[in-house]
Chain A
Amino acid sequence: MDCCTITQQMDIPTGTEKIVLAGNPNVGKSIFFNYLTGLYVSVSNYPGTTLEISSGSYRDYAVFDTPGVYGVSSFNDEEKVARDVIISADIVINIVDAVHLERDLFLTQQIIDMGKPVVVALNMMDEAVENGLDIDVKLLSEFLGVPVIETVATSGKGLDTVSESISLARRGNNSLQENQEIYSEFNHLTDEIKDRAEGLLIMEGDSFVAEKNGREPLNYREEIYRIRRRRINKIIDRVVSISQENVNIKTRLGNLMLNPLTGIPLLVVALYLLYQFVGVFIAQTIVGFTEETIFINIYEPFIRNIVNRFIEPGSLFGRLLIGEYGLLTMTVTYALGLLLPLVTGFYFFLSIMEDSGYMPRIAALTDRVLTFLGLNGRAIIPMLLGFGCVTMATITTRLLGSNRERIIAIFLLGLAIPCSAQLGVIAGLIAPLGYKYFIIYIITILAVYIIAGTGLNAVLPGQSTDLLIDLPPLRVPRLKNVFIKTYLKAKSFIIEAGPIFAIGSLLLTVLKETGLLRLLQNWLLPITNWLQLPQDVSTAFIMGIVRRDFGAAGLNSMSLTPEQTTVALITLTLFVPCIAAMMIMVKERNWRDAVYIWFGSWITAFTVGGIVAHII
C-alpha cells in the first residue's frame, strides 16, 4: 500500500530518467545532492512515515535523495523508503565511505545485484589516507564492474567527475553468480516478473515487494547475504591495504567517550551545554521574544481583531477560535511561540551530536542503564528529546526496535519526564524553597522513573531488542547539514504535532462549554485532601492537562507551604502529559494502550504524591 508511488507523486514528466543517491548514514550524500540539483529542490513527505524525500533535477535527469541505510530491505521506515526509491531508479549514484568499506560495500553490492546501473563515489578519501588506508581504486572498479570515483565531498573534490560519469553508470558484477543454484533461481524469477530489483528483494524475503507482485517471499536472505559478504570480504582483501596503523586523536577521543570514567563526565558536560543552550538561551531569551513579544502582544490581538469582524467573539464558534483555549490564539502561541523554538533548539543540538558521531557513543554508554528499564541505548534519543517536548519525543519512539520498548518509552516519557515548558516553571517554584525540597523532588521523580521502567520490564510479555549499532568515526559536523536536518525535523514537528495541539484545544473548549471541566475539578477534590493540598490546587491540575506549564504556573498565585509546593509539583510532573501528548499516544499506539497509560500515570501520580505528602 505504501509502495512505489513516490516518483509518480513528484510530477516528473514521463520518460525522464531518475538518478537516485544512495548510501549508508552520514556518508555525505546531501553534499552530492546539493551539488547536482542546486537551489531548486522540493521536499516532500514520504507517505506513512515521518521521512522527507528531497528531489530536484540535474540536466535532463530527475534526482532523488534517500535516507541513509545499511542495506535495502524492510527493517524500518528508512529502509522501506530507500527500497522504494531505489527500485524506481534508472541510475544509482552510490556514495561510499572509503574508511568503512566493509560496511558500505554491502549496500553497493546489493544495489549492483538489483541490476541497477551504478556509479560509486568513493568519498572521504582524505580520511582514508589519514588513517593509513591504501585503496586500489582501479581494481575495486574492476571487481564491482562499475565506475568508482575518488571524492572528498566536503572540499568539493571529485564532485565534477562524478557528475560527468553519470552516463558511464553500468550494471556491475552480480554476486549471486557465485552460487549457480541461487543465481538460476533468481534469473528464472526475474524473467517472470520482469524486474531484477524486485526479483532480488523477493529472493531476500521482502514481504512488501513480494505482495506487490502477488507472490510469496522466498527464504534466501541469509544465504544471499552470506554470498555477498564473502564476496565483499574477498574484494576488500585484494583492494585495501593498511600501510600503517594510525591511532589518531579522534580514535582516542572516541574511546574516552565510551569509557565510563571519562565518558560520564563528558556526557554531563554535554548535557550541561544542552541545558545552557536550550534551557537558558532558548527558553528564556528566545521564547521570551517569540511567545511574549511576537505572539501574545502582536499576533493574538491581530488575529482577534480579524476574527471579531466576522464572528461574534462570545459565540461558541468564536470561543473555539479565539477564546481562552482558542485554536487561533492559545494553540498557535503555544505550538509556535513556545514549543517550536524549544524543539528546534533541541533538534539543532541533537543533530550536532548525531553528525559528530557522539550520539551513538552516548547510546552505547547508557545502554547498560537503559536495559534495566527494558530499553536499549537507542532509547536515549527520545528520552533526551522528552525534556524538549514529550509529544515530539513520543513520535520519535518509532526508532525503537519493538512494540514492547515503545510502550515502556512512551509511558516513561508521559510519566516522569517534565518537558521544557514545564521545567522552567518548576525550577522557578522550587528554587526559592532550598536544596532539601529540590532533592526530594529529583529523587522522587527519578525513583518513579526507575521503578516504573523496571516494573514494566518485568510485567510486559516478550523481550526487548538488544543494542547493535555502528559507531561511526568522530567527525566535525558540517553546519549546513546540521541546519538542514534541524529545519526538516522542526517542520515535521509542526506537521505531525500541530494538528494534535489543535485537537487538544478543541477538546478543552468543548469540556469547558459542556461543564465537564468543572465536574472533573470536583472529582479531584477528595484527591487534593489525600495530597494534603488546598482544594484550589485541583484547578492547577486540570490546567496542567491544557498545557503542562499552565499547571505549574497556576501554583504561583496560591500560598502554599514548601511541603505543599513540592508535593504539588511532584504530582503535576507525574500526573499527565499535556493533552497533545495524550492524543499522540492514541495516534502512535491505540486507544486501549493510551487509556492504560493515562490511568497508569494518574494512579502513580496521586499515589506517589500522597506518600510524599505523608512522609515529609
Chain B
Amino acid sequence: MSQKLSRRNVLAKISAALAAACAAPAAQAAKATVQKVLVESGGAKGYDPTKHKWAMAIDASRCIGCGSCADACKKENHVPEGHYYRTWIERYVITKPKPGSDEARGEVLVDSPEGGMHGFGPCPVPKEELLQSFFVPKLCNLCLHSPCAQVCPVGATFDSPDGAVLVDRKYCIGCGFCIQACPYGCRFMSPVTHTAEKCTLCYHRITRGLKPACVEVCPVQARIFGDLKNPVPDDPLQTFYKNNRVQTLKPHLGTEPRVMYAGIDKEVR
C-alpha cells in the first residue's frame, strides 16, 4: 500500500489524468481553428475593417437644437428608456457680465433636458441679460488614445481598426471602469444587458453603406460624417476640414479625439 502511494506514483497518475483531460479540448480547439481558417479564407468578405477609417465632425454653428439626432439614435439603437443617451445635445447660455463687474462674460448655464431629444424650451435667461447662446451635439469622441479601451480589464472595449470604439457585449463583465474613465461622459451601464454601452458610430449602418442615424436625420448638416481612407468627390468631411478652424474637446487630457468641432466656445468641455 505504502509503495502504491509513493510520490512518484502520485505524480505520474496526476500527469496522466491532466494529459487525458487536456487532450479532448485541445483537439476541439484545433478543429475550430482549422474550420475557421478554411471557412473564412474561402468565403468572400463583404466588409474589411482595415480598409476604412470613419470619422465625424460637428459644426455647432449650424445646430438648431431640434433634437432629431438624439431621437433617431434612441430609435436606431434601441437605447433604453430614461436618462440613457449615446448622443445628446447641450445648450450653452452665457449671460452678460453683471453691471459694474470687470469680467468679460457672465455666468454659463448648460442644460440638456432629456438629452435634447424633444427640443429645448424657451431660453432660461431674459433677452436683455443674454450674451450668447448655442447648441452643441455630443457623442463618442472616437479618441485615438481611448481611456475607456485602456482601462477595460477583459478586452471588451476596443478600438476597431476602422476608427470606431466598440463594446463586445459577450465579453463585457459590467465592471463600469470604462464609464468612469471616459472624460466626455459618453458611456452608460445598460439597465437591460448590464453591460457598458456607447455610440458605435452606427457600426451596423456604416458597414452597410448607410450614414449613422444622427447624420441621416440632421436637417442642417451640423453633423458631418465620412471615410478618411476613401474620400468621395466633394467629400463633406474634407470640405469641413478645409473651410473651418476646428478644435477638439479637452485636448489637455491627451486622448486625441478624432471628432472635430467647429463653432464652439471656450466654455464647451
Q: Do chains A and B interact in one complex? A: no
| Interface residues in chain A, defined as those with a beta carbon under 8 Å from any beta carbon in chain B | none
